[in-house]
Amino acid sequence: MKLRTIVFVALFGLLVVGPVAVQAQEVAVTPDVVYGHKYGMALTFDVFTPANANGAAVLNMVSGGWRSQWRPHAVSQRRYQPLLDKGFTVFAVRHGSSPKFVIPEIVPDVRRAVRYIRLNARRLGVDATRLGVWGGSAGGHLSLILGNASDSGDPSSEDPVLRVSSRVAAVVAYYPPVDLRPLARGASPEITNRRFPALNFDRSEAPAYSPIVHVSADDPPTLLIHGDSDGLVNVSNSHEIYAAFQEQGVESKVIIIPGADHGFRGEDAVLATGAMVDWFVVHLGSRSSN
C-alpha cells in the first residue's frame, strides 16, 4: 500500500503540553510504515517529521504493560511536540502486543524496528548514528533493553534488516521495571495471568530480558526518571540500575520526582519531558543531517 503523508498544521497557533504552551510547527506524519511481519500481521510505526528536522531521531516505545496500541496522530503529535520543536524526528514504534505475545517475543520486534530505521535512514531522513530511544513503564523496560542488550546484527542472515545493528546512541526511561527474574512465570497468577500476561514466560529466560543483568561499560548515555511514590514499579528499580551504571562508568543520571506516582501528570510531566528533551539534545546533538 502506498504510504501517504499527512501534514498537521496547528489551527490555533498553539499546542498545549501539560500546562506549558509551545509554538506549534508544521509536522509531516507518515503513518503505518511496515518494519516487519509476525504471524501474518504487520509490525508498524508512525513517523513524525518536523519542518526543521535536525537529522536525529527518537524512537518512542508505544508500550504500557507491554500492550502496544495505536493512537490518533494528533494525540501523539501533542505528546511529541517538545521533541519536534527541537528538530527531532520521532518514530512511534508499536510491537507485537500482550496478551497475544510475551516479552521474549516482544523484544525482537523493537530491536527489528531499530534495525529497519538504521537500514533505511537515508530514505527516512535521519542519521543512522543518532538514534535515541524513550519509553515509560514497559516502554522504559524496552528502552533499557535496547540500550544495554542489543547487538551488531547477523551478517549471515538472509534478511537484510537482521544484518544491521540494533544499538542506540542514547536512552531515556521513565519508571522502568529493570529485573524480570522475580516477575516471570512462577510469580503470582495475579501478575502473570491477569494484570501482565506478557510476563507469562519461562523464568529461565528472565535474565536475558532483565536490563539490570546486562549493564556494561559500553552502554549508551542513559537517563532514568521515576516518582518516589510509584505504587506499581517501585522507585528502587531506577536506583538499582543507576548504581549499576555508575559502577560500570556509564554516563547516566537519575531524577527522582517527589510525590510522583506511576504515570507523570501536570507539573511532573512537564519536568520529565523537559529533562528527556534536554538529554537527547545533549547526546544526539542538534546539527543538521548530512
- Evaluate if residue 6 carries a pLDDT over 90: no
Q: What is the pLDDT of residue 7?
A: 42
Residue 32 is part of a domain; what is its CATH number? 3.40.50.1820
Tell me if 202 is assigned to some domain: no
Tell me if 203 is assigned to some domain: no
| Residue whose C-alpha cell is 504493560 | 65
For the stretch 196-238, pLDDT in tens is 999 999 999 999 999 999 999 999 999 999 999 999 999 999 9
For the stretch 51-97, pLDDT in tens is 999 999 999 999 999 999 998 999 999 999 999 999 999 999 999 99
Tell me if 269 is assigned to some domain: yes
At position 138, the amino acid (one-letter code) is A
Tell me if 198 is assigned to some domain: no
Tell me if 94 is assigned to some domain: yes
pLDDT band, very low/low/confident/very high, at 19 (cuts 50, 70, 90): very low
- Evaluate if residue 50 carries a pLDDT over 90: yes
Q: What is the pLDDT of residue 184?
A: 83
pTM of the predicted model over 0.85:
yes
- Evaluate if residue 251 carries a pLDDT over 90: yes
Count of structural domains, the chain:
1
DSSP letters, the chain, are -----EEE--SSSEEEETTEEEE---EEEEEEEEEEEETTEEEEEEEEEETT--S-EEEEE--BTTB-----HHHHHHHHHHHHHTT-EEEEE--SPTTTS-HHHHHHHHHHHHHHHHHTHHHHT--TT-EEEEEETHHHHHHHHHHHS-----TT-SSGGGGS----SEEEEES-----TTTSBTB-HIIIIII-GGG-S-GGGGGGG-GGGS--TTPPPEEEEEETT-SSS-THHHHHHHHHHHHHT--EEEEEETT--SS--HHHHHHHHHHHHHHHHHHH--PPP-
Tell me if 223 is assigned to some domain: yes
Give the residue numbers spanning the domain of 231. 6-181+210-284
Tell me if 137 is assigned to some domain: yes
Tell me if 62 is assigned to some domain: yes
